Structure 1
Amino acid sequence: MTPGAGGGESAAAHRSGRQESPEERADRRWSDLLQEVRVAQTGSQVLFGFLLSVVFMPRFAQLDQFDRDLYVVTVVLGALATGSLAAPVSYHRLFAGRRLKPQLVDAAARLVATGLILLALTIGSALLLLLREAVGGAAAAWITGAVMAYFAVCWLLLPVFQLRRQDHRGKRPPDG
């Protein structure tokens, strides 16, 4: 086992079943976080790029005020999502060489979580805008609500349920 400061096994290694130093753990968590961000960031950037072009389409002038306002909200949410998902790069540049990797990983993880929430809201509002044009107001609202509920189940409820099942069985998942 990895010796801690007092010569015994580190508490983190004991809980996670891994034999890694705090620095190795921070490096592993940072690498995992970067892989996750690459997926979400690419999606948010592509969606944001498409949203930016919508205002220049001829049909945009025909939208009613609600849809124009919804478009503005969608673009702002997309910008915030993209900014949140890109922020870990800035943190990394500012923290580099300062021996603050655990703090970097914690801050970046919070920004990514915020970015994912903003991305879900961006997708939801973009879907509502699109469906209002395609199928009308009431159907658009119901379909968008169902899609957002699905996101909540997949992105939040299923992982929380799995964590609770693991905790109930007395097995703590590795700290990631």
Structure 2
Amino acid sequence: MRQGARDDRADDVPGDGRSETAAERADRQWQELVQEIRVAQTGVQILFGFLLTVVFTPHFHGLSQTDKTLYIVTVILGSMATGALIGPVAFHRIVSGRRIKPEAVAWASRLTFVGIVLLLATLTSALLLILRVATHDGIVPWIVAGVLAWYLVCWFALPLWARMRYTTEG
């Protein structure tokens, strides 16, 4: 046993190759989650900031009502994604020191997942809006559907496939 390690290892995950307490696991998971959030959070904040400026451009007022509605939906989705991806930080600040880190990690993970789904919707909506305005071409929905499929493969299908393929039963 490691020096200073606790004797009660009942909360270890059997067969995971680690020897950590629930608190150590929660600390590790929190650090991993924070790193993941940093990547998504930066992207969504830049996109959201850009979206906020569009309404103040002269070209915006010439958009069709459909495109203006699509813009509003995109801004709302971007705002919700930003909230969900910043949510774990506020959650951690509010519950810090309350000895509920495993629960905080679980809730922060859920908020992050919701944020990623909202980011997916924001990116898809923004792409649709931009391509509609830039091209007015009937192929736009097909391009957007292709990009959406790519996002779904990269963000969900591939990780789920790897999870099923490489996860061994304990």
Instruction: Specify if TM > 0.5.
Output: yes
Q: Counterpart amino acid of 1:100?
A: I
**Counterparts of 2:7 and 2:151 in 1: how far apart (Å)?**
41
Q: Counterpart amino acid of 1:127?
A: L
Q: Is the 8 A contact 2:131 2:140 kept in 1?
A: yes
Q: Counterpart amino acid of 2:45?
A: Q
Name the counterpart of 1:143: 143
Name the counterpart of 1:69: 69
Mean Cα deviation higher: 67-76 or 13-22 = 13-22
Matched, 1:49 2:49: yes
Mean Cα deviation higher: 133-142 or 101-110 = 133-142
Mean Cα deviation higher: 93-102 or 132-141 = 132-141
Q: Counterpart amino acid of 1:140?
A: V
CA positional deviation for 1:138: 2.2
Secondary structure at 2:99 match in 1: coil
Q: Is the 8 A contact 1:48 1:79 kept in 2?
A: yes
Q: Is the 8 A contact 1:45 1:82 kept in 2?
A: yes
Q: Counterpart amino acid of 2:133?
A: E
Matched, 1:19 2:25: no
**Counterparts of 1:143 and 1:30 in 2: how far apart (Å)?**
37
Q: Is the 8 A contact 1:3 1:10 kept in 2?
A: no
Deviation track 1:102-134 (CA, whole Å, cap 9, x = no partner) reads 000000000000000000110000000000012
Q: Is the 8 A contact 1:30 1:105 kept in 2?
A: yes
Q: How many residues end up aligned between the 2 structures?
A: 167
**Counterparts of 1:47 and 1:31 in 2: how far apart (Å)?**
25
Mean Cα deviation higher: 128-137 or 44-53 = 128-137
**Counterparts of 1:38 and 1:12 in 2: how far apart (Å)?**
28
CA positional deviation for 1:4: 5.8
Secondary structure at 1:61 match in 2: helix
Secondary structure at 2:97 match in 1: coil
CA positional deviation for 1:3: 6.0
Deviation track 1:114-166 (CA, whole Å, cap 9, x = no partner) reads 00000011000000000001222522111111001000000000011111112
**Counterparts of 2:97 and 2:137 in 1: how far apart (Å)?**
53
Q: Is the 8 A contact 2:11 2:21 kept in 1?
A: no
